[in-house]
Amino acid sequence: MKKKMIIGTALSALFVYLSLKGIDPGSVADGFRAVNYGYIGPVLFLLLLIQILRSYRWGLLLSPFEKIGQFDLFAVTSVGFLAVVAIPARIGELARPYLITGKSSIRMAAALGTVVVERVFDILTVLTIFFGVLFFMPLPSWLMKSSILFLAITLAILFFLIFIILKRERALNTLLPLLQRLPDRFHHRLEDLLHHFIDGVAILSEGRMIFYVILLSLLMWFVDVLAIYLLFLSFGFHLPATAPFVLMAILIIGITIPTAPGFVGNFHYFCILGLSLFGISKADALSYAIVLHVLSVGLIVVLGLGFLPFNRFSVADLKAKFDINGQS
């Protein structure tokens, strides 16, 4: 983990350097002064709505195991995303599955399965929207290749999940012998985790539920696009309707790179990269990136800290939960 943190910090430093290279600080300050801050309230409301929709969607995915109150779902989601932002190496992704076990009888591995399903639908939804934009504007080859690569990886994961659901016995017969090569204390534990994980992703076999999840995913990301667009207006950017869709997709690609906590550097660099496609100067794009980052990450931090006293955990807790001698 320390090695990943060092690498992540180095990557963040590189992206910060690339973001600041050749920029006059005065031009960035001018960009802040030109902002119409009357749009900030509506943007924050939309970002809050995204978190509400996200927690509600997760509740649907968890409902076959147990129905959980919306307040608890929102609280756990808020703290979970604080962990994603604050803990390096994506270990924070385990926070929500861990915390929900304290609010329900759901096993952590099963909850983790639903989070994986969430992530798959998020990426597929964003890329579907993005590829729809191609009918309206040409995009650079590097962006097309990156998007196609992301789509291929996501579809491969989706097909694997569908396979282990529909052909569960066959999948287990393939995977379990591999686990049995490990020491007993490992393979029994991992076998148990695997069974519960498959239970978690089995939601993919429920057509009606998946239909609702797709609708919520589309709504959530269109709200995100609207937030990006309103912030365009606050900066006086008169860009085509396709611009917020393209920027959203580029940011999603950018923040998947494991950098330092808070997506510092990669968020800003890829935001600048996206806005440059529409003729926005680097200084103005950096001003926009800083404000969008502060609003997006700031809201997550405020919500997470607000609910943290009622949903405490640590990295040691997450590791202990997956301890080979523990229970999941």
Q: pLDDT-based confidence at 325, cuts 50/70/90? A: very low
Q: Which pairs count as long-range contacts for 268-272, CB under 8 Å and 24+ apart, including other chains?
A: 268/15, 268/16, 268/19, 268/293, 269/15, 269/16, 269/18, 269/19, 271/247, 272/19
End-to-end C-alpha distance for the chain, whole angstroms: 22
The whole-number pLDDT of residue 253 equals 87
Percent of the chain scoring above 70 in pLDDT: 90
The whole-number pLDDT of residue 328 equals 47
Token reading at 260: 């330092």
Predicted confidence (pLDDT) per residue in 223-279, tens digit: 999 999 999 999 999 999 999 999 999 999 888 887 778 888 999 999 999 999 999
326 found inside a domain: no
Pick from 220, 181, 290: which is nearest to 58 by CA?
220
The whole-number pLDDT of residue 173 equals 81
235 found inside a domain: yes
327 found inside a domain: no
The whole-number pLDDT of residue 301 equals 94
Q: pLDDT-based confidence at 324, cuts 50/70/90? A: very low
CA distances from 198 to 111, 212, 219 (A): 10, 21, 27
Predicted confidence (pLDDT) per residue in 1-24, tens digit: 567 677 778 888 899 999 999 888
The whole-number pLDDT of residue 322 equals 56
Dist. CA 291–CA 230, nearest whole Å: 12
26 found inside a domain: no
28 found inside a domain: no
Average pLDDT over residues 189-197: 77
Predicted confidence (pLDDT) per residue in 128-162, tens digit: 888 888 777 778 888 888 888 988 999 999 999 99
Count how many domains the chain has.
Answer: 1
Token reading at 225: 């696009």
The whole-number pLDDT of residue 327 equals 46
Look up tokens 């932002």; give the residue. Answer: 85
- The boundaries of the domain holding residue 42 are 34-319
The whole-number pLDDT of residue 305 equals 93
The whole-number pLDDT of residue 193 equals 78
For residues 91 and 116, the model is more confident at 116
Average pLDDT over residues 195-199: 83
Q: Is the pLDDT at 283 greater than 70, yes or no? A: yes
239 found inside a domain: yes
17 found inside a domain: no
Q: Is the pLDDT at 326 greater than 50, yes or no? A: no
54 found inside a domain: yes
Mean pLDDT of the chain, nearest integer: 87
Percent of the chain scoring above 90 in pLDDT: 50
Predicted confidence (pLDDT) per residue in 202-231, tens digit: 888 888 889 999 999 999 999 999 999 999
For residues 114 and 195, the model is more confident at 114
The whole-number pLDDT of residue 53 equals 97
DSSP 102: T
CA distances from 130 to 134, 139, 175, 251, 315 (A): 7, 10, 35, 12, 35
